[in-house]
Structure 1
Amino acid sequence: MKILVLGASGATGKLLVDQLLELGRDVKVIVRASSSIPQSWGNNEQVEIIQSNIHEMTVGEMANHLKDGSAVASCLGHNLSLKGMYGEPKKLVKDAVRLVCEAYLKSTPLMPLKIVLMNTAGNSNRDLNEPVSSSQKMMLALIRTLLPPHRDNEEASDYLRLMIGQNHPSIQWAVVRPDTLIDEDKVSEYSLHASPTRSAIFNPGKTSRINVGHFMGSLIVEEKLWNKWKGQMPVLYNLNA
């Protein structure tokens, strides 16, 4: 069974794909034709490359890509440019999550599909009573209004929480919430928490992208870890950050 990675050409997505390959897993990646991906993927029998724009894909097309899949990992995000922040598609992440869910349910699922969504520590898990100061609530309300990508992240996780829920027979999910992303060359020690232990606005932590890829890959392949965090939104911090 293959693992489908969305956003595989991004800084974190590439590291996730590498992690899955190191774990011996077969991977499908959906990337735009103009995307830059490692040349080694094209020479690797474990990697199937699908050139397409995810926001233009139909439910039927996605269902076809999920036929031999056991999991989907999304590292999709908006480019940090005016067009990427304010242009279309404004709901890139949410629409991709919805597309995957609708496509899988349209088929005849033989086993539950795992969905792992990369998100942000600035997005609260509203299934829990996560303490948020009044000043942070005000800042988040402003960010939500001014920065559509943040609202997209919130709505993507809300789709999984509210539309799929905790006990769906065909879809299981986990939303990974790193704090401020940084680049490091190697996987380092990191800590996992059900909720943020610091303010993502006024006292942010740091999370290396390679640690995010490591954790997302481990979630998919390690059943004990998956059973611990499925239906939750774990927060990830570098241990020494």
Structure 2
Amino acid sequence: MCALIKGLQRTEPVKFILMNSTGCRNPDLGEKVSFVETCVVGLIRQLVPPHADNERAVEHLRQVIGSEDSSVACGVEWVAVRPDSLVDEQQVSEYRVCPSPTRSAIFNSGKSSRINVAHFMVELVTDEILWRTWKGKTPVIYNV
């Protein structure tokens, strides 16, 4: 992706938003979970291939695309949005965005409506201040 984007010779970086999951922890933030939750997530990683893909995708962003300096050189800026248990709602409702999970993704998950996640992602792209707030980070979104 970086090679392709570099080849475009854009003057502005490409904004890339990955929809991930609260089950994918961000080690840069020192996010800790219990031993039991670590075991359950390890089992999920083995039995549910999309979870392992989610982990690899966010690790690629963090380590390969990396910091603001690396992303500028690559021409990509990124945010990995981590909703909790996804639910369907008809309208955007109040939601909060946190740097890290405030609940256990396995044993006490919160709800994130798909429409709220989509709303937040659109706001990221269209609101430059919001983008700068979360650029290179992995925010968690919960319905209020």
Q: Which segment is superposed worse, 216-225 or 107-116?
A: 107-116
Give, in angstroms, the shift of residue 103 of structure 1.
Answer: 1.6
Q: Give identity over the alignment, percent.
A: 50
Q: Give distance in 2, aligned partners of 1:141 and 1:160.
A: 21
Deviations 1:173-200 (A, max 9, x none): 0000000000100000001110000000
Question: Please, which runs of 5 or more residues in structure 1 have no aligned partner?
Answer: 1-99
TM-score by length of 1: 0.57
1:222 aligns with 2:116: no
Give me the CA root mean square deviation.
Answer: 0.9
Which residue of 2 is the match for residue 205 of structure 1? 110
Which residue of 2 is the match for residue 142 of structure 1? 43
Structure 1 stretches of 4+ with a deviation exceeding 4 A read: none
Letter in 1 for 2:33: V
Deviations 1:66-98 (A, max 9, x none): xxxxxxxxxxxxxxxxxxxxxxxxxxxxxxxxx
Q: Give distance in 2, aligned partners of 1:147 and 1:101.
A: 28
Q: Give distance in 2, aligned partners of 1:161 and 1:180.
A: 23
Alignment partner of 1:151 out of 52, 56, 59: 52
Contact 1:166 1:172 in 2 (8 A): no
- SS of the residue corresponding to residue 154 of structure 1 reads helix
Q: Give distance in 2, aligned partners of 1:101 and 1:185.
A: 36
How do 1:1-241 and structure 2 match up within 5 A? Answer: 100-167=1-68, 168-169=71-72, 170-239=75-144
Give, in angstroms, the shift of residue 106 of structure 1.
Answer: 2.7
Q: Give distance in 2, aligned partners of 1:227 and 1:181.
A: 26
TM-score by length of 2: 0.94
Letter in 2 for 1:115: F
| Structure in which a larger fraction of residues adopt helix | 2
Q: Give distance in 1, aligned partners of 2:129 and 2:52.
A: 32
Q: Give distance in 1, aligned partners of 2:29 and 2:18.
A: 18
Q: Give distance in 2, aligned partners of 1:193 and 1:118.
A: 15
Report 1 or 2 for greater relative contact order, CA contacts < 8 Å, sequence distance ≥ 6. 2
Q: Give distance in 2, aligned partners of 1:188 and 1:133.
A: 31
Letter in 1 for 2:63: L
- SS of the residue corresponding to residue 186 of structure 1 reads coil
Larger Rg: 1
